[in-house]
């Protein structure tokens, strides 16, 4: 039996290795593919962030493939330093808004503007420098935890990395490990939980210190204590930054300046939490449903709204 087990175990290791590399390649090609979708206009100038960071989606139509329109006349504004949250069923177009703001793709009609500047008219790199993303699933490199956090700003000092880790409440966790910030992360190193990965992403964003933030809330399970802690950290990161929250749960959106309820690529409802509850429509129904959900046990899956 042991003779059979060892080669099988060995094959398992090789399989995981190949699978991981394929996943990395897949991610890389997906990113390259996206980058081919947009190009700088001739003579494009950098985005002027001294003019502010308010965001405007003006009558935006968008399709990934011409035959299948995804967004229809989407129109909203995020005033400088404010937070707008997007909710709605799975596939309604929430994450697409974030991808358009980061200019993975160009819109087919209408425009996306930052401080009045059409993002198609300025350099793509300057738009991306101005935006920090806390994604659903943070990509970690097979490198040290210091490298994984410092990636937010190449050249950051150890003291700056530690300060960002402290602010993201992950410093104590790192410092408790024998190798501290030199601990390897990834396939053969330390595996981080969903919440810890999001904290790494928050620390990266703090280091980058961008005026604009896109927070694509994790659909994956976080226990409720962790979820509340991450929410509090995000709120403090978002303070003073122009923030788009793509929300899969309603608890994150209560304090937003405006909430957009998306349905099939259109804004079906909009307003503050109180206004939407008073309106008694889709949002109010989603909210009521969520209140009746049993509180998740620690570590149990938290049902996501519409996902
Ligand atoms: P979820 O809550 O599940 O994350 P979402 O509201 O964020 O969903 P999007 O990811 O914005 O939805 O997707 C909107 C629509 O666009 C979906 O029908 C999806 O299948 C489609 N879509 C997303 N990405 C692509 C792509 N790269 N190519 C073609 N279609 C896509």
Continuous H helices in the chain: 2-37, 94-101, 124-129, 145-150, 158-167, 171-175, 194-208, 224-238, 273-279, 282-292
Probe ligand 1: pick from 93, 99, 216, max atoms within 8 Å of CB? 93
Q: What is the pLDDT of residue 194?
A: 81
- Bigger pLDDT: 210 or 154? 210
Q: What is the pLDDT of residue 91?
A: 92
For 90, how many CA atoms within 13 A lie in the half-sphere containing its CB? Answer: 6
Q: Which residues contact 223 (CB under 8 A, 6 or more apart)?
A: 296, 297, 298, 299, 300, 302
> What 3-state class would DSSP assign to 110?
strand
Give tens-digit pLDDT for 80-130. 999 999 999 989 999 999 999 999 999 999 999 999 999 999 999 999 999
| Percent residues over pLDDT 70 in the chain | 81
For residues 211-237, average pLDDT: 78
Q: What is the pLDDT of residue 222?
A: 64
Q: Is the CB of 59 under 6 A from ligand 1?
A: no
Probe ligand 1: pick from 65, 95, 216, max atoms within 8 Å of CB? 95
Rounded CA gap, 229 and 73, in Å?
36
Give me the residues paired with residue 103 across strands: none
Q: Is the CB of 91 under 6 A from ligand 1?
A: yes
Give tens-digit pLDDT for 19-52. 454 445 445 445 444 555 688 888 899 999 999 9
Q: How confident is the model at residue 301 (pLDDT cuts 50, 70, 90)?
A: very low
102-to-98, 247, 253, 256 alpha-carbon distances in Å: 6, 17, 21, 21
Residue nearest to atom 11 of ligand 1 (CA): 93
The single-letter DSSP state of residue 124 is H
Give tens-digit pLDDT for 228-268. 777 788 888 889 999 999 987 787 788 899 999 999 999 99
State the DSSP string of 37-72.
H--PPTTPBPP-GGG---EEEEEEEEEEETTEEEEE
For residues 181-197, average pLDDT: 85
The pTM assigned to this predicted structure is 0.82
Q: Is the CB of 30 under 6 A from ligand 1?
A: no
Average pLDDT, the chain: 83
C-alpha of residue 173 to centroid of ligand 1, in Å: 35
């Amino acid at each position: 039996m042991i003779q059979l087990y060892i080669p099988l175990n060995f094959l398992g290791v090789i399989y995981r290795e190949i699978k991981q590399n394929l996943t990395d390649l897949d991610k890389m090609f997906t990113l390259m593919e996206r980058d081919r979708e947009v190009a700088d206009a001739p003579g494009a100038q950098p985005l002027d962030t001294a003019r502010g960071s308010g965001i405007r989606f003006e009558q935006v139509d968008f399709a990934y493939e011409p035959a299948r329109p995804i967004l229809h006349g989407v129109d909203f504004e995020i005033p400088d330093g404010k937070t707008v949250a997007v909710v709605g069923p799975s596939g309604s177009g929430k994450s697409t808004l974030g991808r358009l703001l980061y200019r993975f793709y160009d819109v087919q009609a209408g425009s996306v503007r930052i401080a009045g500047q059409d993002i198609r008219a300025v350099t793509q790199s300057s738009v991306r420098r101005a935006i920090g993303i806390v994604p659903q699933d943070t990509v970690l490199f097979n490198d040290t935890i210091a490298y994984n956090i410092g990636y937010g700003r190449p050249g950051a000092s150890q003291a700056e990395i530690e300060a960002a880790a402290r602010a993201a409440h992950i410093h104590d966790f790192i410092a408790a490990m024998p190798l501290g910030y030199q601990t390897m992360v990834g396939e053969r190193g330390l595996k981080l939980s969903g919440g810890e990965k999001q904290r790494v992403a928050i620390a990266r964003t703090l280091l980058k210190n961008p005026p604009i933030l896109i927070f694509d809330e994790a659909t994956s399970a976080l226990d409720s204590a962790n979820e509340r802690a991450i929410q509090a950290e995000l709120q403090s990161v978002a303070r003073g930054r122009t923030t788009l929250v793509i929300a899969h749960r309603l608890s994150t959106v209560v304090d937003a300046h405006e909430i957009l309820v998306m349905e099939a690529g259109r804004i079906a409802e909009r307003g503050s939490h109180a206004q939407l509850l008073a309106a008694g429509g889709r949002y109010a129904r989603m909210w009521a449903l969520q209140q009746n959900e049993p509180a998740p046990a620690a570590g149990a899956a938290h049902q996501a709204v519409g996902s």
